[in-house]
Amino acid sequence: MSDSSDNKFSFTKTKIKALKPEKKRKTYRHENLKGFILEVSPAGTKTFRIYKRIKGENSPIKVTLGTFPDLTIENAEKKALEALSLMAQGINPNEQRAQDKKLKTTFIEAYEAYKAVKDLSDKSLTGYNQCINAYVKDWHDKSLIEITDEDIKARHQSLSERSEAQADYCMRIIRAMYNFAMYEYKSADGVLLIGENPVDILRQQRLWNNVSRKQTRLTKSEINKLYKALSTIRSDETTDSFMLAVCDFVEFALFTGLRKMELLKLEWSRVNMDDKFFYISKTKNGDPLELPIGPHLEAILHRRLEMTNNNFVFQADNDHGYVREPRKCIDKICELAGVEFNLHDLRRTFTSIAELNKVGAYVLKRLLNHKTARNDVTGGYTVFTAEELRVPSEEVQNAILLSMGLPLYGQSIDICLQNLINTLSKNEKKKALKILEDQFCKE
């Protein structure tokens, strides 16, 4: 930059207004404040800047202060003095400005950034948004550093009065968001701008509610009632295709223990009827899963094939092409069966039956697609193919068939009848016996 007298003067409104743009960007220096400059672009934009070396650095840097006349000369000089003071301390004003901006990041901005990097399922996303919008909406415009551990304690306590489980769920989301923000928003030299996670206070003071996991599952008699209800619905000619798809989905879920969306999004392109296995590419834990198709699952899939004309096994006439929310249909099944259950109950039922049938822990983990802990070295080396899972999978399915009163594939008629009788209640056995007696009398 030239130091000629025509580009060095005391900045005044009159003099700056009089400056005309030239073909190239031109720089003017403040004659009394070293490093304070004004740049005029060919388009006529007049920008106040600092151009000076930071203490301890070799090369000068530019710090943009603002444009004239939006930024007055008085305010520009004030900003210049602040920037020069930082530079004299060895601080880069540009980095300081970026750091200050990060410190002003609002709760909702951090939450949106967190969601953007997380691969959340539609269900998880709905639950997250509901918590953040319903329970902490008054925090949305606060900066992250404004929310204290006392705020967390008070909000957790008030939410716990309504639902302990929801209070813990909401705080787990916020804890994860802060963990993300702590490493996302750092200073230029890598120092954490958010030094601690305020949700940690719940652990330190043992305030988590730690609501026990649900223990509900279907009993043997309830499995039988469920199957009878599904059969009744299927035999009704007025049952629509959506309800039939849900019935097959519920039965498939019981026989596999798989999660809701892992099954509902199952595509025919992932089903190999010839080699009798199916493949789920996108699962909750991110690991793909290949499972065998036993005889009963094969029968369900053949029934599905006859009722679908798109690529989804559990087809529905909607924008997605598959059943999205089966809750209302499941409520009807519950009412007809006289059994209350949800989809996690089916998963717990499958797991419990597998355990009772002495399915190995690592095999069961694979069937359920549970992730092996990092410190479990043996589990990390244990790999099962669909074919190797076939026998244990069918053992569990056979136990479910017995509870349903259905014959096992390849079993003799005598054993089938005995299994069927074992599933009947005393009253049902009396009725069956009466029917047999009446039949014999007729003969």
HSE (side-chain half, CA atoms, 13 Å) at 8: 10
Can you give the CATH number for the domain in which 71 is found?
Answer: 3.30.160.390
286 confidence band (pLDDT: 50, 70, 90): low
Assigned domain for 252 exists: yes
How large is the average pLDDT for residues 114-125? Answer: 83
436 has pLDDT over 80: no
377 has pLDDT over 50: no
269 plus 145 within the same structural domain: no
Least confident of 117-131, 362-376, 384-398: 362-376
Residue 411: per-residue pLDDT: 52
84 confidence band (pLDDT: 50, 70, 90): confident
- Measured between its terminal Cα atoms, the distance across the chain in Å is 118
53 plus 149 within the same structural domain: no
Assigned domain for 41 exists: yes
Q: What is the pLDDT of residues 399-431, one digit of tens each?
A: 999 989 888 765 545 555 555 565 556 776 677
Assigned domain for 214 exists: no
Assigned domain for 100 exists: no
Can you give the CATH number for the domain in which 370 is found?
Answer: 1.10.443.10
Least confident of 103-107, 293-297, 337-341: 103-107
Q: What is the pLDDT of residues 52-75, one digit of tens each?
A: 888 878 888 898 899 999 999 999
Strands of the sheet with 60-68, listed across from one edge: 8-9, 26-30, 36-40, 46-53, 60-68
d(CA 13, CA 64): 19
251 has pLDDT over 60: yes
Residue 422: per-residue pLDDT: 58
247 plus 348 within the same structural domain: yes
Q: Quick one: how far is CA 120 from the chain centroid? A: 3
Phi, psi of 8 (to 5 degrees): -130, 115
Can you give the CATH number for the domain in which 166 is found?
Answer: 1.10.150
Of 137, 169, 204, the domain-final residue: 204
Q: What is the pLDDT of residues 197-207, one digit of tens each?
A: 999 999 999 99
Assigned domain for 121 exists: yes
Average pLDDT of the chain to the nearest whole number:
85
b/e string for 12-28 if b means 16 or more Cβ within 10 A?
A: eeeebeebeeeeeebeb
In percent, the amount of the chain with pLDDT more than 90 equals 50
Assigned domain for 380 exists: yes
243 plus 378 within the same structural domain: yes
88 confidence band (pLDDT: 50, 70, 90): confident
d(CA 11, CA 29): 8
Of 65, 91, 117, the domain-final residue: 91
Number of domains in the chain: 4
Three-state DSSP state, 424: coil
428 plus 286 within the same structural domain: no
Residue 129: per-residue pLDDT: 93
Domain ranges, residue 154: 107-204
DSSP element (H, E) containing 81: helix 73-88
d(CA 50, CA 84): 8
Structure tokens at 36: 């304070």
Least confident of 48-52, 142-146, 152-156, 183-187: 183-187
68 plus 150 within the same structural domain: no
272 plus 195 within the same structural domain: no
pTM over 0.85: no
The set of residues, in sequence order, having a beta carbon less than 8 Å from that of 152 and lying 6+ positions away, is: 171, 174, 198, 199, 201, 202
How large is the average pLDDT for residues 353-377? Answer: 73
Assigned domain for 429 exists: yes
132 confidence band (pLDDT: 50, 70, 90): very high
82 plus 126 within the same structural domain: no
Rounded to whole angstroms, the maximal C-alpha distance in the chain is 128
333 plus 240 within the same structural domain: yes
Cβ of 193: how many Cβ atoms within 10 Å? Answer: 17
278 plus 424 within the same structural domain: no
Assigned domain for 10 exists: yes
399 plus 420 within the same structural domain: no
Residue 381: per-residue pLDDT: 46
326 plus 182 within the same structural domain: no
34 has pLDDT over 70: yes
Residue 231: per-residue pLDDT: 94
Residue 358: per-residue pLDDT: 86
Of 173, 204, 235, the domain-final residue: 204
